[in-house]
Amino acid sequence: MAFAGSWPLAAWLLAFVQGLLPVVLAPVRVSPGCVPSPPQPRYKSWHDTACGSTPILARTLTSVSRPAPIPGPNSDAGGLAVFCDFDGTFSQRDVGATLAGEYLSRARADLQKRFADGELSAWEYAVELFDGFDFGPEPLEAFLAGIELDVGARGLLSWCEERGIAFRILSDGFDYNLERLQAIHGVRFAYAANHLVFDSGRWRISPGGLNPECDCGTGTCKRAMIEAYRRDHPGAFCVHIGDGAVSDLCGARVADRVFAKGSLEESLRTQGVACEHFDDLSGVRRALEGAFPGDPPAGGPGRRASGDFRS
Ligand SMILES: [Mg+2]
Ligand SMILES: [Zn+2]
């Protein structure tokens, strides 16, 4: 999706929200010294960082679901692992935001206000917007056929595969769409995302990894995914690439190196978190190539990477 500097920051961040499913509110937890005074929004809005990363209000229910194991990067790669947002980063347009803009614009306008007011978490926003969405596989397929990959997406993917570098898409979008887009574009990648199935042509969505310990409120907490990888691969150098302050911010905060654009870059710079701007993924590949030089392993492209990174 496009960005325009004239838009208020809140509007941009809202535009990035896409999401997923039913949420059960946990009891309100208030951190010491950070007591909000009533009236309070039910949820901490994205721009409310007065209490740092400590959740003022806990949301949800299910525990964090750990991603499927990713093979560790080989020694030649220096323990590098690349985590990449999908919508607006690996793809040129944001699938959920574009769909909502075209087919759910009236509902979205109301939900964006509730989200901005802190009344809804990112995941609740997604549930309100998409659960029950009457948009079956056939029209969805036609829509997805118009979603193009970033010009550098294939190059970055190939560069990682050829060197045995762990690469994983982290998306607060939906697995169904990622599967179809892989088939449409003839690429394969490991991913973590929310879940989408159809019930009589209507969307039924569920979260891929809610994390009550994180204030992102998304269905697939990227911070949790990166931290889980680190636990399984001590010493890994984790890179996060993204464009959205809602779903990418928590992942960027725990990454060793961050490539950012859009509202993610704006938020990180506002918060004084180091990041590097990128225009497309070709620039990210060139930067990583400079930092992690080395020829592909002998035996030809993909030999050592094999198909191990498939999800
Ligand atoms: Mg994005
Ligand atoms: Zn998070």
Residue 4 has pLDDT above 80, yes or no: no
Ligand nearest to the CA of 210: 2
In this predicted structure, what is the pLDDT of residue 31? 32
Single pTM value for the model: 0.74
Residues 60-107 have pLDDT tens digits of 223 334 444 444 444 444 489 999 999 999 999 999 999 999 999 999
The Å distance, Cα 47 to ligand 1 centre, comes to 17
With CA atoms as reference, report the closest residue to 150 among 44, 8, 283, 26: 283
Angstrom distance (rounded) from CA 211 to CA 298: 41
Mean model confidence pLDDT for the chain: 79
Å from CA of 167 to ligand 2 middle: 19
Top-confidence residue, 29 or 137: 137
Rounded distance from Cα 35 to ligand 1 centre (Å): 32
Q: How many CB atoms lie within 10 A of CB 155?
A: 16
Strand pairing class (80-84; 166-174): parallel
Return d(Cα 274, Cα 88) in angstroms, integer.
21
Is residue 218 situated within a structural domain?
Answer: yes
Q: For 166-177, what is the mean pLDDT?
A: 98
Q: Are 60 and 109 in contact (CB under 8 A)?
A: no
Is there a domain that residue 306 lies in?
no
For residue 65, tell me if it sits in a domain.
yes
pLDDT tens, position by position, 98-157: 999 999 999 999 999 999 999 999 999 999 999 999 999 999 999 999 999 999 999 999
Residue 303 Cα to ligand 2 midpoint, Å, equals 34
Residue 302 lies inside a defined structural domain of this protein: no
Quote the number of domains for the chain.
Answer: 1
Highest average pLDDT, of 10-14, 80-84, 295-299, comes from: 80-84
CATH code, domain with 169: 3.40.50.1000
Q: Which ligand is nearest to the CA of 88?
A: 1
Residue 194 lies in a domain: yes
Is 308 within the bounds of a domain? no
Query: pLDDT digits over 208-225, tens only?
Result: 999 999 999 999 999 999
Could you give the CA distance from residue 179 to residue 146 in angstroms, rounded to a whole number? Answer: 15
Between 55 and 116, the more confident residue is: 116
For residue 23, which of 172, 123, 113, 116 has the smallest C-alpha distance? 123
Contact 87, 171 (CB under 8 A): yes
Q: pLDDT tens digits for 252-286? A: 999 999 999 999 999 999 999 999 999 999 999 99
Any domain includes 2: no
Is there a domain that residue 300 lies in?
Answer: no
pLDDT value for 276 = 97
Range of the domain at 91: 9-31+38-291
